[in-house]
Amino acid sequence: MSAHGTKSRIAERRAELMVELLLQELEPEFISRPTVDVGYDLLVGFLNKKKGINTFAVQVKATERPPAGRFQIMRDTFERFAHSNIPGLLFVADVKQSKLFYAWLNAGKFSGTVNVSIPLIPLDESSRAELETKLRAADAGVSAAG
């Protein structure tokens, strides 16, 4: 493997670890990794106020410079998350400055045929509290049949 490939893989792994640490701090019921490539990096579940479990698919991306408020992902990746019955969450990690950004990957009006530009929310104390509230909301995700 080339030095650039190794550096890129290290940045990706650092980003994954930053997100896993954040999620662990939010005290999920579980965090798991798919055993095959299904289009997301992690599956995480949080106990909600009605004692159910809200499950989310998480995509992690690494960057070595701060994103300028938006992040581009492949349209097919976006479509997979936006049209799934499991809510999708994108985390972008600035691995040089150890900062996280996030966005919900849901259907919306996004332009572009190959890439989709997603608005990011910088993770600070206020947005972290808001994220945790949404992860634990009783109405998060898809309602059970019945």
Rounded Cα–Cα distance for residues 136 and 60 (Å): 20
- Condensed to tens digits (0 to 9), the pLDDT of residues 109-140 reads 666 678 888 999 999 999 999 999 999 997 76
The confidence score (pLDDT) of residue 145 equals 36
Number of compact structural domains in the chain? 1
Tell me what pLDDT residue 6 has: 85
Domain with 67, as residue range(s), is 3-136
Residues paired with residue 93 on neighbouring β-strands, in sequence order? 62, 100
Report d(CA 73, CA 99) in Å as an integer. Answer: 19
| Residue 64 counted as domain residue | yes
Distance, CA of 98 to CA of 15 (rounded, Å): 9
Q: Where does the pLDDT of residue 17 fall: very low under 50, low under 70, confident under 90, or very high at 90 and above?
A: very high
CATH code, 77: 3.40.1350.10
Residue 107 lies in a domain: yes
Is 145 domain-assigned?
Answer: no
What digits encode the pLDDT tens for the residues 45-78?
A: 999 989 999 999 999 999 998 888 899 988 888 8
* pTM of the entire predicted model: 0.87
